[in-house]
Amino acid sequence: MKVNGVEHASARDPRRLLSDHLRHDLGLTGTHVGCEHGVCGCCTVLLDGAPVRSCLMLAVQAEGHNITTIEGLTRDGQALHPVQQAFHECHGLQCGFCTPGFVMSVVGLLAQHPNPTAQQIEEGIAGNLCRCTGYASIRRAVKRAAELSPSPRSGERRAEGET
């Protein structure tokens, strides 16, 4: 599988979870594990661009796919990705444990809806649990991320804005 653009060898054990493979075999510990039963969303990564829960997948199921983790959004020494920057500006994190999962969900959300409505924001983050913030600052961060994100096709952006 390709992780953050780099080809990696297969998991050594067929029952190894994708989350464990990323964290403990590849050392990408930014993907966190909060419940291991698919509810909290801390382990969210992008599979071919769409958010998935890496604790509900076996590593071998990701063979032949492109995985993006939080570490793949920007490089060390480079500016934060717009979603990361927005979370910082809006105090969208406290302990930071759920944060990578939220950020990946929001990256997926904005790919689908570059200028999301309040309802789309609500649904877009409703698969991730946060125990610290009470979500208000995360909602603000999603709106800010949409502002900071480079404009995609302007037509789509306008169409989204009208919904």
Partner 1 sequence: MTTRWFGAPVQRVEDDRLLRGHGRFTDDIDEGALECCFVRSPHAHARIKSIDASTARGMPGVVAVYTAADLPFGGLDLPLLIPHPNLTHGRTQRCLASEIVRYAGEAVAFVVATDRYAAEDAAELVAVDYEPLPVVITPEAAARAEHLVHDDVPGNIAAEMLQEVGDVHGALASAPRRKQLRFRYERGAASPMEGRAVWARWSADEHKLTVYDSTQSPTSIRGGLAVLFGLPESNVEVIAPDVGGGFGPKIMLFYPDELLVPFAAMQLGRPVKWTEDRQEHFTAVNQERGQVHEVEVGFDDDGRVLALSDEFIHDGGAYTPYGIILPIITAAQVPGPYRIPNYRVRFRDVYTNATPTSPYRGAGRPHACFVMERTLDVIASELGLDRAEVRRRNLIQPDQFPYDVGVAWQDGNTVVYDSGDYPRLLDRALQMLGPKPAGDHVGMGLGIYVEGTGVGPYEGAHVQVLVSGKVVAATGIPSQGQAHATVWAQVVADELGVDVKDVEVTSGDTRRFPWGVGTFASRGAVTAGNAMYVAARMVATKARQIAAEHLEANPDDLELVGGRVRVKGSPDHGIPLAAVAVLSNPVRYAFGGGTEAATQFAAKPRTGPPLQGGEEPGLEATGYYSPPGSTWASGCHAAYVRVDPRTFRLEILKYVVVHDCGRVINPLVLQGQIEGGVAQGIGGAFYERLAYDGDGQLRNASFMEFLIPYATEIPPIEIDHFETPSPLNPLGVKGAGEAGVIPVGAVIASAIEDATHIPITEMPLSPLKLYELTMSSS
Residue 26 is a binding residue for partner 1 (CB under 8 A): no
Q: Total binding residues for partner 1 by CB under 8 A?
A: 57
Does residue number 103 form part of the binding site for partner 1 (CB under 8 A)?
A: yes
What x/- string results for residues 49 through 88 when contact with partner 1 is judged by CB under 8 A?
--------------------xxx-xx-x---x---x--xx
- For 146-150, which contacts have Cβ atoms below 8 Å and span 24 or more sequence positions? 146/110, 146/114, 146/115, 146/116, 147/86, 148/82, 148/83, 148/85, 148/86, 149/82, 149/83, 149/110, 149/114, 150/82
- Output 62 or 106, the one with its CB closest to partner 1: 106
Tell me which residue of 77, 76, 52 sits closest to 22, measured CA to CA: 52
Q: Is 100 helix (H, G, I), strand (E, B) or coil?
A: helix
Q: In angstroms, what is the minimal distance from the CB of 78 to partner 1?
A: 10
Q: Give the residues lining the site for partner 1 (CB under 8 A).
A: 13, 15-16, 20, 23-24, 27-37, 39-40, 42, 69-71, 73-74, 76, 80, 84, 87-89, 91, 93-100, 103, 122, 125-139
